Amino acid sequence: MDVAFVDDLNQLISQATDDLAAAGGSDALEAWRIKYLGGKGALKAVMQRLKKVPKDQKAAAGKAANELKNTLQAAYDQTVADLGDAGQPAAGPAIDVTLPGDKPTIGHVHVITQTINEICDIFGRMGFEVATGPEVEDDHHNFEALNIPPSHPARDPLENFYITEQTMLRSQTSTVQIRVMEHRQPPIRVISPGRVYRPDTVDATHSFMFHQVEGLYVDEGVTMADLKTCLDQFVKAYFGPDVATRFRPSFFPFTEPSAELDIQFHYEDGSTKWIELGGCGMVHPNVFEAVDYDTEKYTGFAFGLGVERLVMRKYNIPDIRLLFAGDVRFLHQF
């Protein structure tokens, strides 16, 4: 057998093995492949030399050359596999800068905020301005001045999120009635949207945090007829002219007389149902006394509506929890 040919093969294997061991990363590996296994590479040169090997040694030399080829190819494949994705030859630029850009997904105002804005807009057209108050309240504004005495069950720790004995997360936006009347004289026409907190058991229609819109109108000669007209107009502006309202006798310590506002819904199967939206009534004289208003001169009405209930009715949302789950597939519909 041609000794020089075999020596050259052995040298080639040793050189190729050393080079392969030193080739780190996809680019070096590709350079190695071209140098040894490529169309103009070292292996190709060996195969060319085979043609010149004397006939009687050709079979043995061919076998040695084939073994070399298989050894190099197997070593290369193994190295690529060991490197994983990093061993793949670079697939060209990852970013095609000529493509038009992807539009970023832009969020929008939450449906509850949209609804609060709409409510403010409707009452704004009736002459109501917007007032706000703190979510952490004191006993005086959340209870005392609202004619809720110390023994009243509404103060129960199971009904409120107390922070200290005298401070709590407000359980109703009626607190803002007091804060407004403390600093201003009638005529007053304000609405106050905001979050309120109650340790209610969460279900399809109840949450431990929800939103209310409070309304307060105080002037000389304000009557229950004004209250009914105002809320009826609001409901028709918000839901549409066909939605009827009903005022059901009720009780709140801070209004007398008091009522629940219900609206009538018509379903596709022809049935109807009355649904409670909130409480309302004529401001109790004790509340006026707490803010030093002349009870002989002024009367007023107040109401507190649940914003989630308004949203759920209008958009036919079956579960209040959907409003707070933060699922963009749900929120993008509004």
Contact positions vs ligand FA5 (CB under 6 A): 172, 174, 198, 200, 206-207, 210, 212, 252, 255, 258, 276-281, 302-304, 306, 308-309
Please, which residue, 9 or 310, has the CB nearer to ligand FA5? 310
Q: How far is the CB of 166 from ligand FA5 (least distance, A)?
A: 20
Please, which residue, 32 or 128, has the CB nearer to ligand FA5? 128
Q: How far is the CB of 306 from ligand FA5 (least distance, A)?
A: 2
Please, which residue, 258 or 299, has the CB nearer to ligand FA5? 258
DSSP 171-199: S-TTHHHHHHHHH--S-EEEEEEEEEE--
Please, which residue, 64 or 299, has the CB nearer to ligand FA5? 299
Reading the block at residue 127, the tokens are 């002459």
Q: How far is the CB of 330 from ligand FA5 (least distance, A)?
A: 18
Task: Kindly report the backbone phi and psi dihedral angles of residue 24, in degrees, each rounded to the nearest multiple of 5, phi listed first.
Answer: -100, 130
Please, which residue, 87 or 215, has the CB nearer to ligand FA5? 215
Q: How far is the CB of 156 from ligand FA5 (least distance, A)?
A: 14
C-alpha distances in angstroms, 263 versus 124, 211, 217, 278?
A: 22, 19, 22, 10
C-alpha distances in angstroms, 49 versus 34, 234, 237, 264, 327?
A: 19, 98, 95, 98, 70
DSSP 39-102: TTSHHHHHHHHHTTS-HHHHHHHHHHHHHHHHHHHHHHHHHHHHHGGGGSPP-S-S--TTSPPP
Q: How far is the CB of 295 from ligand FA5 (least distance, A)?
A: 17
